[in-house]
Structure 1
Amino acid sequence: MSISLETISRTRMAYVRQIGPYGPANKQAMETLKNWAHVQHLLTEASVLFGIPQDDPATTPPESCRYDACIVISDDFVFSGNDPVKEGELAGGDYLVYRIAHTAEAVMHAWTSIPGLVRDHGHAIADGPVMERYKGELLLRHQCELCIPVRKDANLM
């Protein structure tokens, strides 16, 4: 496990949205995205993918939860018009990046640890979704990252 503070820049992305309860359907959305990205020659060891749950399942009915499977694309990438993906943008900002093992157990533990980790690092959770980030070199080591939007906590200063 490693934790760092990172400013993520504005990023153009292609994404597939899954609407419904979080779970196995999220994996299907990611597979649809990967298949499209492979055909477009975008899926390489240097690719960066995100899994972004857009809603809090504690306050959003399961049938309304949105999950976006995303891949970073260049500003000059041109969509064909028949693509099964949509174009989107990550606004960017400051994130606490928590590197973890890419296992169901480690991810579940990490999600429950977020409030304490953020507080222990002198920050508060900012508006925006917590994102799962997947990079080729990390996946080869069976790791992924949780990117937690943060701001300095004035109460801790």
Structure 2
Amino acid sequence: MESSIILGIPQDNPETTPPEKCRYDACVVIPDDYQVDHSICEGKLSGGKYVVFKIKHTVEAIQEAWEKIFPTLYANGYQIDDKPILERYADDMINDHYCEICVPIKP
């Protein structure tokens, strides 16, 4: 694949789950007709509305973003949808040291 989109999907809340128990899925977006080897787990994400935060890809910036995202969303009247939060990494963003945190919101 020429250009890749990588998704990180945290499965647990680190505020309520011990670090050693936190799960995280690492994913690569593939075309519908891509043949997947049976040693790889394939899944689908449902669509919906997301608020996207583009942030510098450093430990400090990511920690700060996670601390500010939810208070910012709630202060602006958004309600979080019951879908996975996504960390999105595209080739051009990775090369520029950025990533996106995509938070699902209710319509």
Provide the rounded CA distance (Å) in 1 between the counterparts of 2:68 and 2:34: 37
Task: Work out whether residues 132 and 146 of structure 1, in 8 Å CA contact, stay in contact via their aligned partners in 2.
Answer: yes
The correspondence of residues 106-125 of structure 1 with structure 2, limited to 5 A, is 106-125=61-80
Relative to the length of structure 1, the TM-score reads 0.62
Please report how far the alpha carbon of residue 139 of structure 1 lies from its aligned counterpart in structure 2 after TM superposition: 1.1
Higher strand share: 1
Task: Work out whether residues 53 and 130 of structure 1, in 8 Å CA contact, stay in contact via their aligned partners in 2.
Answer: yes
Number of corresponding residues: 107
Provide the rounded CA distance (Å) in 2 between the counterparts of 1:147 and 1:113: 13
- Could you tell me which runs of 5 or more consecutive residues in structure 1 were left unpaired when the two chains were aligned: 1-41, 153-157
Runs of 4+ in 1 over 6 A off after TM superposition: none
Please report how far the alpha carbon of residue 129 of structure 1 lies from its aligned counterpart in structure 2 after TM superposition: 2.5
Root-mean-square deviation (Å): 1.7
Compare CA radii of gyration and give the structure with the larger one. Answer: 1
- Could you tell me which runs of 5 or more consecutive residues in structure 2 were left unpaired when the two chains were aligned: none
Higher helix share: 1
Report what 1:93 is aligned to: 48
Report what 2:35 is aligned to: 78
Secondary structure of 2:89's partner? strand
Provide the rounded CA distance (Å) in 2 between the counterparts of 1:139 and 1:61: 29
Deviation string, structure 1 residues 17-73 (Cα, Å, up to 9, x no partner): xxxxxxxxxxxxxxxxxxxxxxxxx3x4x2111110011133334444321000101
